[in-house]
């Protein structure tokens, strides 16, 4: 299970709907909770304190850094969206989608399911194994 920025914000603010999604997948189904580290930037801009972000790092199974491979994967997704769909998508959405495609089967909790789906659909084989839940 991968959280985007809104998923992180709602999780840290105790949103009951997001908490239920995470509980059902992590505690009951044994999934892993993964957060691309870049989403912490948007979470901080949304008012999440440094202490809460540091606590998140202890609660998730993996806080994924942006390495060269992930940067190239996200850039390829952005290029696909711009070329095939004549639409720009954000860097953070591209990194979240790249992580989902690396982690199939995966669930992404996001406030922007259309952009994440659009990006994941660039890889038809893996896209079918990525579920997208609205936060």
Arithmetic mean of pLDDT over the chain: 92
Cα–Cα separations (whole angstroms), residue 79 to 50, 82, 83? 33, 5, 6
- Take residue 91 and report the two structure tokens written for it: 């860097």
Global pTM reads: 0.91
Mean pLDDT of 37-48: 97
Q: How confident is the model at residue 127 (pLDDT cuts 50, 70, 90)?
A: low
pLDDT in tens, 63-119: 999 999 999 999 999 999 888 877 788 999 999 999 999 998 999 999 989 889 989
CATH topology of domain 2-134: Rossmann fold (3.40.50)
Domain ranges of the chain: 2-134
Reading across the β-sheet that carries 130-134, which strands appear in turn?
A: 62-64, 34-36, 2-3, 106-110, 130-134
Per-residue burial over 46-67, b = 16 or more CB atoms within 10 Å of its CB, e = otherwise:
eebeeebbeebeeebeebbeee
């Amino acid at each position: 299970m991968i959280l985007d920025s809104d998923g992180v914000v709602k999780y840290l603010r105790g949103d009951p709907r997001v908490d239920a999604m995470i509980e059902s997948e992590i505690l009951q189904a044994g999934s892993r909770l993964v957060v691309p580290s870049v989403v912490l930037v948007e979470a901080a801009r949304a008012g999440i304190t440094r202490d809460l972000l540091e606590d998140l790092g202890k609660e998730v199974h993996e806080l994924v850094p942006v390495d060269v491979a992930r940067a190239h994967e996200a850039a390829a997704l952005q290029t696909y969206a711009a070329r095939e769909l004549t639409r720009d998508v954000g860097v953070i959405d591209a990194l979240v989608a790249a992580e989902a495609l690396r982690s199939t089967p995966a669930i992404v909790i996001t406030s922007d399911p259309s952009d994440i789906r659009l990006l994941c659909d660039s890889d038809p084989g893996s896209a079918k194994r990525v579920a997208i839940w609205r936060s």
